[in-house]
Amino acid sequence: MIIEYKKQNTTYLADLNKPIEIGIPVQRARGVSSFGIANADYKVYQDGSFIGNKNQGAGCNLETITFTPHGNSTHTECYGHISLSQHFVNDCITDDFYLAMLHTFKLKKEGEDDVLDFSDLNFIELNRYDSLVIRVLPNTKEKIHANYSGVNAPYILSSDMQKIVDAGIKHIILDLPSVDKEWDNGVLASHHIFWQYPENPRTSASITEFAYIANEIVDGKYLLKLNIANFISDAAPSRPILYPISSK
């Protein structure tokens, strides 16, 4: 199916028959992890003598799954992640189609840390988009199962995050565990700058972390759908999809 999408007086054609998945699911065995968060726990549901397993005589299979969205899969966050009051992702984020730029980033040193190098990103061009999809080098399939706990993963400097905000980006998709340093004494500077919290909260803006963008997906423009799961929380698992797009 080909749909038309209009943005800043330009009409784009997107092919919904060619979805490109860039999410990592909640996994049964070795999933992604960060901040010392344990892997998702799958258990057969039990209630008294009832055991929810067809192989043990039940009429159907039932599972209880315990997981932490921020540490077990691709997830989308709203500003409730850092706010004093409760705000929920599916109340804040309209899960619509968004014009997205995919850009691959190299790393540079900031003291002893690895941070994303924004020197070759055209921020003037970025102003045309709603979303920025970030792929970080090196990019291997191990990202699907990576444990980032204690490794001080690369992150976005607050000065670069301010440039992203100034360009008008409302949705960031990142293939790392966080836009901020793993342990920064709870400052979360880039989160605060992105959401402009608490001074002027961007309540409809979102951050999606722990994505995976395969190497064969070329940099450029796409139509993005986040596909946020319907959880009443500051973050929820999501299944972001890119669709090929061209100008009409």
SS (H, E, C) the chain: CEEEEEECCEEEEEECCCCEECCCCCCCCCCCECCCCCCCEEEECEECCEECCHHHCCCCCCEEEECCHHHHCCEEECHHHCCCCCCCHHHHCCCCEEEEEEEEECEEEECCEEEECCCCCCHHHHCCCCEEEEEECCCCHHHHCCECCCCCCCECCHHHHHHHHHCCCCEEEECCCCCCCCCCCCCCHHHHHHHCCCCCCCCCCEEEECCCCCCCCCCEEEEEECCECCCCCCEEEECCEEEEEEEC
Query: Is pLDDT above 90 for 248?
Result: no
The Cα 5–Cα 97 span in angstroms is 8
Neighbouring-strand partners of residue 4: 13
Could you give the count of Cα atoms lying within 13 Å of 237 in the half-sphere of its Cβ? 14
The Cα 59–Cα 106 span in angstroms is 52
The pLDDT tens digits for 88-142 are 999 999 999 999 999 999 999 999 999 999 999 999 999 999 999 999 999 999 9
> Could you tell me which of 227, 169, 233, 175 has the C-alpha nearest to residue 195?
169
| CA dihedral sign, ordered 124, 125, 130, 133 | negative
Average pLDDT over residues 28-39: 92
pLDDT recorded at residue 12: 95
Average pLDDT over residues 40-52: 96
Beta pairing class for 97-105 and 131-136: parallel
pLDDT recorded at residue 109: 98
Cis before 244? omega within 30: no
Average pLDDT over residues 184-194: 97
Contact partners, residue 156, CB within 8 Å, separation at least 6: 115, 116, 164, 174, 179, 180, 190
Global pTM reads: 0.96
pLDDT recorded at residue 137: 97
pLDDT recorded at residue 30: 87
Q: What is the mean pLDDT of the chain?
A: 96
Task: Yes or no: say if 131 and 98 are a contact pair by the CB < 8 Å rule.
Answer: yes
pLDDT recorded at residue 26: 97
pLDDT recorded at residue 76: 98
Residue percentage of the chain with pLDDT more than 70:
100
Tell me, rounded to whole angstroms, the distance of Cα 55 from its chain centroid. Answer: 37
Average pLDDT over residues 197-217: 98
Q: How far is CA 211 from CA 1, 46, 56, 58, in A?
A: 25, 33, 37, 37
Q: What's the pLDDT band for 49 if we cut at 50, 70, 90?
A: very high
The pLDDT tens digits for 152-178 are 999 999 999 999 999 999 999 999 999
The first and second tokens of residue 112, run together, are: 């002893």
